[in-house]
């Protein structure tokens, strides 16, 4: 699974992307976030406020209960505003 991080989330985590092997017990975005938060304080900081977090799976915006699999491309980013 390739995970990309953008804006504030990238700054908090310290890198823009990574490739992980998805543990078998993780089935949705919520589980993925919980798993990532277990990887260190920088991840906890990045994901602490779900209201300020958006996610895309395979370039499609999804909710946190959306299923994930090891072959997915995931992107985490803050909400965007127009002007």
**pLDDT tens digits for range 29-76:** 999 999 999 999 999 999 999 899 999 999 999 999 999 999 999 999
Q: What are phi and psi for residue 59, nearest 5 degrees?
A: 65, 25
Which helix (DSSP H) or strand (DSSP E) does residue 9 occupy?
helix 7-13
Q: What is the domain partition of the chain in residue ranges? A: 2-77
Q: What is the DSSP track for 35-62?
A: HHHTT-HHHHHHHS-GGG-EEEETTEEE
* pLDDT tens readout for residues 11-24: 999 999 999 999 99
Query: pTM (2 decimals)?
Result: 0.93
Classify domain 2-77 by CATH number.
3.10.20.30
């Amino acid at each position: 699974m390739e995970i990309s991080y953008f804006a504030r989330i990238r700054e908090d985590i310290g890198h823009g992307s990574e490739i992980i092997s998805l543990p078998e017990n993780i089935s949705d975005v919520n589980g993925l976030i919980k798993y990532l938060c277990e990887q260190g304080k920088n991840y906890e900081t990045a994901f602490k406020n779900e209201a300020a977090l958006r996610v895309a799976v395979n370039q499609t915006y999804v909710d946190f209960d959306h299923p994930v699999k090891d072959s997915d491309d995931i992107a985490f980013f803050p909400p965007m505003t127009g002007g």
